[in-house]
């Protein structure tokens, strides 16, 4: 599991048969068999060379088909993140490193104070999971969705993100790895049908995500009431609630 907070930009030394990446900081925290998020795709290191500051990973056919990693060439730059460890801060949002879709950059707009707004056109099935002010991972980076239109969505990139990731080099028609927010997907996968809770400014993103999902949100006035209603409904029906 990752946070979408990039720790290092690596440089591709070799693209095939195995992907070899020069990244001293990441290599120092990695061992053979360990996981690493490479531009939004979780890979396992097959070899680690601490002296050279590089590691290698195999890109299987499934990964090559569902991500942009097969398009990488020598000297390309990639975003890198090691998995979360117990006690690590959650600076972004939970990211699996399982690419859900490949999007295409539709437009890059310059904005004030060195920021940029990037418009991405994803497949329709992915766009249905995206909401304004919700979370999305683009090339492994945790971002907030700024706007959603009929066939695309936008993310706003601040100067710090542009400096510390590869997103500063995005151009129209470039393909990028995308991953939607994990939380609601996980609830749906577990068969959760209802969520009981109190609305508030701190959970507006979650409320909007639930509104777009199959899960019904039951609003209550108190936390105790939410807990009581969830427990009672679960006992009476045997169904999963939160």
Q: Supply the CATH number for residue 106's domain.
A: 2.40.30.20
Q: Is 86 part of any domain?
A: no
Range of the domain at 31: 8-81
> What sign does the CA torsion over 12, 103, 46, 8 have?
positive
Inter-residue contact 98 to 117 (CB < 8 Å): no
Evaluate if residue 161 carries a pLDDT over 60.
yes
The whole-number pLDDT of residue 84 equals 85
95 touches 142 (CB < 8 A): yes
Burial class (CB in 10 A: 0-12, 13-18, 19+), 84: middle
Please check the confidence at residue 160 and state whether its pLDDT lies above 80.
yes
Q: Are residues 18 and 61 in the same domain?
A: yes
Give the mean pLDDT of 98-125: 96
Same domain, 168 and 218: no
Give how far Cα 169 sits from Cα of 6, 71, 96, 115, Å. 16, 16, 24, 13
Query: Is 84 in contact with 2 (CB distance < 8 Å)?
Result: yes
Is residue 164 in some structural domain? Answer: yes
Q: Does residue 105 carry a pLDDT above 60? A: yes
pLDDT at 89: 65
pLDDT of amino acid 202 = 58
Q: Is residue 95 part of a domain?
A: no
Residue 87 included in any domain = no
Domain shared by 174 and 191, yes or no: no
Both 170 and 206 in one domain: the answer is no
Clarify whether residues 60 and 120 are in a common domain: no
pLDDT reported for residue 135: 87
Adjacent-strand bridge partners of 242: none
- Which of 83, 82, 121 minimizes the C-alpha distance to 101? 121
The confidence score (pLDDT) of residue 242 equals 55
Flag whether 93 is in a domain.
no
Flag whether 32 is in a domain. yes
Euclidean distance between CA atoms 236 and 222, whole angstroms: 21
- The answer on 206 and 153 residing in a single domain is no
Residues 38 and 77 in one domain: yes
Query: Are 196 and 172 in a shared domain?
Result: no
Distance CA 176, CA 78 (A): 11
Return the pLDDT at 90.
60
Number of domain units in the chain: 3
Domain shared by 206 and 219, yes or no: yes
108 and 176 in one domain? yes
pTM of the model: 0.80
- Whether residue 96 is contained in a domain is answered as no
């Amino acid at each position: 599991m990752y946070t979408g907070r990039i720790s290092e930009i690596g440089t591709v030394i070799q693209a095939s048969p195995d992907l070899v990446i020069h990244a001293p900081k990441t290599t120092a925290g990695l061992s053979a068999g360990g996981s690493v998020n490479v531009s939004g795709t979780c890979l396992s290191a097959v070899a680690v060379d601490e002296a050279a500051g590089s590691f290698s990973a195999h890109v299987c056919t499934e990964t090559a088909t569902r991500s942009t990693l097969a398009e990488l060439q020598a000297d390309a730059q990639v975003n890198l993140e090691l998995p979360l460890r117990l006690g690590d801060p959650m600076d972004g949002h939970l990211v699996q490193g399982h690419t859900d879709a490949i999007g295409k950059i539709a437009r890059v707009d310059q904005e004030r104070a060195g920021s940029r707004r990037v418009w991405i056109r994803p497949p329709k099935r992915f766009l249905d999971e995206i909401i304004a002010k919700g979370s999305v991972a683009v090339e492994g980076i945790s971002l907030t969705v700024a706007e959603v239109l009929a066939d695309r969505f936008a993310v706003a990139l601040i100067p710090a993100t542009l400096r510390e990731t590869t997103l500063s080099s995005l151009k129209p028609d470039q393909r990028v790895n995308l991953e939607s927010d994990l939380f609601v997907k996980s609830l749906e996968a577990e068969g959760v049908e209802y969520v009981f809770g109190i609305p508030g400014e701190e959970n507006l993103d979650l409320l909007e995500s639930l509104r777009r999902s199959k899960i019904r949100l039951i609003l209550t006035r108190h936390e105790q009431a939410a807990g009581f209603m969830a427990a009672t409904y679960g006992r009476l029906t045997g169904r999963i609630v939160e």
